[in-house]
Amino acid sequence: MSIVAGIIGGACYAVVGYFGSNESFDKFKFLRTFIISVIEGGFVGLYLGDPKLAALATFTGVVTTEEIGKGIAKRLGAGRSS
């Protein structure tokens, strides 16, 4: 049950992220976020026994993962000349 809760938490994160942004819908970006969130949610649910905790931990974990990824991408792109 915790795995399902983690997956649902990840899917909710992708949907909330879409509705919370001011950007036009980008299918690739949404699918990327959805897939990463659902996979991460499944892993979180696998190791946590409480479904509520799994869903909340997935939300937090996905935010952290995205911010780290954005930071790395920014650093890698910062050295390029335009």
Closest CA to 55 of 1, 7, 19: 7
11-23 pLDDT, tens per residue?
787 788 778 777 8
Alpha carbon distance 2, 66 (integer Å): 22
- Quote the mean pLDDT of the chain: 77
pLDDT band at 78 (very low <50, low <70, confident <90, very high): low
Cα separation values, 44 from 6, 38, 55, 57, 80, Å: 6, 10, 8, 7, 36
Contacts of residue 59, defined as CB under 8 A and 6 or more positions apart, other chains included, come to 9, 12, 13
Average of pLDDT values for 54-71? Answer: 75
Write down the pLDDT at residue 48: 77
CA atoms within 13 A on the CB side of 65: 18
pTM (2 d.p.): 0.62
Write down the pLDDT at residue 23: 80
- Would you say 54 and 72 are in contact if contact means Cβ atoms under 8 Å apart? no
**Is 80 exceeded by the pLDDT of residue 35?**
yes
